[in-house]
Amino acid sequence: MSRFCLFPGTFDPVTLGHVDIINRALPLFDKIVVGIGENISKSPMFSAAQRMEWFNEIFKDEPKVECAIFEGLTINFCKEIDARFILRGIRFVSDFEYEKTIADANRTLDRNIETIFLTGEPKYTSVASTIVRDILKHGGDASPFLPDAVIKSLK
């Protein structure tokens, strides 16, 4: 049985923290689908197509990583792509409390899909898309938090 995993998020923009989680999860799964969720309650800074382009560039040499855009419930998208695992990155204890609530709800909706938590590398704990967007909106240099593919496209 294949170990397919969904790593869902808005990734607005893609950060080094996101890339770190994916790279460390690669040995655990046969395939990781980065699911860019389109959330009607959020107004993203970057289009879903742009975020997908970044992931495709970053992982162009990694056949185990694919990217897709989805709407609706994460658990439903897992079923659509046959993912038996949901990958989530944890930076702080507060992240875990929030993510555990979502994982519990997902487990109630489908007991066959398990959520896996990976803690971020300490050097990336301050990297949050919200902070990066704020830096960018105010003309600051967000490059210490971003992969090269993102930095190049922002110039």
Question: Token pair for residue 75?
Answer: 């658990």
Question: Token pair for residue 88?
Answer: 């989530």
Helix H or strand E segment including 119: strand 114-119
Which one from 43, 88, 123, 129 is the annotated catalytic residue? 129
Residues 6 or more apart whose CB falls under 8 angstroms from that of 28 comprise: 3, 5, 116
Active site residue 18: yes
Active site residue 64: no
**How many other C-beta atoms lie within 10 A of the C-beta of residue 153?**
14
Which one from 42, 60, 137, 152 is the annotated catalytic residue? 42
Active site residue 138: no
- What are the catalytic residues? 18, 42, 91, 129
